[in-house]
Amino acid sequence: MSEQHELPYAIRRWTFDRFLIIELHGEIDILVAAANSDLLAGQDLDRQPDVVVDLTAVTFIDCSGLGVLCQLANRLRRRGRLLRLVVADSFTLKLLRATRLTEVFLIHDSLSAALSHSDGAAEVPAS
């Protein structure tokens, strides 16, 4: 008899209008980041002009998870595009502030706010 283990995370990707939305759920740690960095940086990044990563269902994120988000932001920045994060959790927001990543990402408190906000390429934060 085989045991079924529920994964401590999930990743869902979908498009809406001009946005590629990547929803992360659960714990995003070094094992998840290493196993899924290709999924987060898939080829459809080149087809969608705007990318939103929704972290509202993330229960834990470590520096390796933040590193994958930084790699994604850098890839988009090289193309003159921005990475928007949806962050509703105070711990995750404190972590982004402590690491000064609030200067790298556009941060919104809801998915609807991220989808309704439009930014020009001239607003891309300096690297």
pTM metric for this prediction: 0.82
The domains of the chain are located at: 9-117
- Identify the CATH number of the domain defined by range 9-117: 3.30.750.24
- Helix pair angle (30-40, 63-78), 10° resolution: 20
Mean pLDDT value across residues 7-35? 86
Buried b (16+ CB within 10 A) or exposed e, 50-60: bbbbbbbebee
Query: Which of 91, 85, 90 lies closest to 111, judged by CA?
Result: 85
The mean of the pLDDT values for the chain is 81
C-alpha 127/C-alpha 107 separation (Å) is 16
The string of pLDDT tens digits covering residues 71-121 is: 888 888 888 888 999 999 899 999 999 999 998 899 999 999 999 975 543
CA distance 107 to 95: 13
pLDDT at 78: 86
- Return the pLDDT at 32: 82
Token pair listed for 125: 């934060």
The yes-or-no verdict on residue 2 having pLDDT over 90 is no
